[in-house]
Amino acid sequence: MSENDHFASSKKEFDKTVLVTGGAGFIGSHVVISLVEKYPNWHIINLDKLDYCSSLKNLASVEQRANYTFTQGDVCSPYFINHLFATQNIDIVFHFAALTHVENSFRCPAEFMRVNVDGTRVLLNAARDSGVQRFIHVSTDEVYGDSTGRAFDELCPRRPTNPYSVSKATAECAALSYWKKHELPVIVTRSNNVYGPHQYVEKVIPRFISLLQQNKKCTIQGSGLQSRHFLYVDDVTEAFLTVMEKGTLGEIYNIGTTCERAVTQLARELIQTVQGLSLDADVDGWMEFVEDRPCQDLRYPLIFDKIQGLGWRPRVSWEEGVRKTIDWYMHNPHYWLDPEALEQSSPPLPEHKHSNCSIHQQLEISSIDQRSGVSSHLTE
């Protein structure tokens, strides 16, 4: 039996096919693993460009599973995406692929609009033409802007304040327009900050832990009084599966938590744990205040009664989640901090390229057509 025949015959054994974009990134990889393990009769396709903050090491536990396939590709390529939808009979889409680092968005806002908005439109068009059953568009609490008082429910207006959140607000508007105009079965999620093992070191919790591992100070932007609500990655993964199974089409779901920490408080807790310090004077010596970024939002409180009505609640306490996270980084100090990753910690964003499929992408399309396991293109 040829590889093409093997792929065709094995596909028939699966009840559903799920496409996860950005599935080699932090949150996407956890969702992929959960889907592969929870639904052995479903075919899970992981599509990722393998940018600087994603890694196939995140998927090591499932890379040999029969119901898992990885393919490398770009959501901004219509040829690639259209061929993928035309050949794989995709039933459900989780759209995680995005540029997410706020500091980078100020440096290159056009690239954030291209990837986060144009890439979403490419996927929406392909999904509309193929007749998917669910299109779960992953957005962010940052589309609301900040609030010092009232918490945001799903009906609050969008007031994004930085190029990243503007691109995410625009993308979710596009997604919801496909529900209204084309009845594409879209569901939008907006979550608080997520943390846990495997997160790239540009985000605040792994950045602080990694700095402390190198005996460097935690660098805090501005006053440090800005706060964030933190969800452990296992909880948010369960929230996405809950929305997939029980969510109402055309709706928006906040995925929130009451666990809030000011950045200075967060730094103190991590310093105390990682460095084993208790005296305030000793802790203060491990903090360094640096210039603030433009438009620093103070906080993003969410009302998340709607998703709780589906039966979901965050279950991992802050103490347990932080302990698991610190333990993981302590046992994996070089996971991201190898020479290549260090060079890419503030990578130049790519220039705009034509959307025609390259030779490399054509090889990727051929690869996914020919197997039911992991793509042969595993370089990062």
Q: Which residues are catalytic?
A: 141-142, 164
The angle subtended at Cα 373 by Cα 371 and Cα 378, nearest 5°, is: 95
CA distance 59 to 351: 28
How far apart CA 347 and CA 216 sit, in angstroms, is 21
What phi, psi does 176 have (nearest 5°)? -70, -30
- Other beta carbons less than 10 A from residue 281's beta carbon: 7
Minimal CA–CA distance to 245: which of 136, 373, 376, 143? Answer: 136
Element holding 239 (H helix, E strand) = helix 233-246
Angstrom distance (rounded) from CA 69 to CA 63: 8
Q: Which of 76, 87, 78, 79 is nearest to 45 (CA)?
A: 87
Length of the chain: 380
**Cα of 129 vs its chain's centroid, Å:** 25
How far CA 256 is from CA of 40, 194, 261, 267, in Å, comes to: 29, 10, 14, 22
Q: How far apart are CA 19 and CA 92, in angstroms?
A: 6
Secondary structure of residue 232 in the 3-state scheme: strand
Are 286 and 216 spatial neighbours (Cβ–Cβ below 8 Å)? no
Helix, strand, or coil here: 48? strand
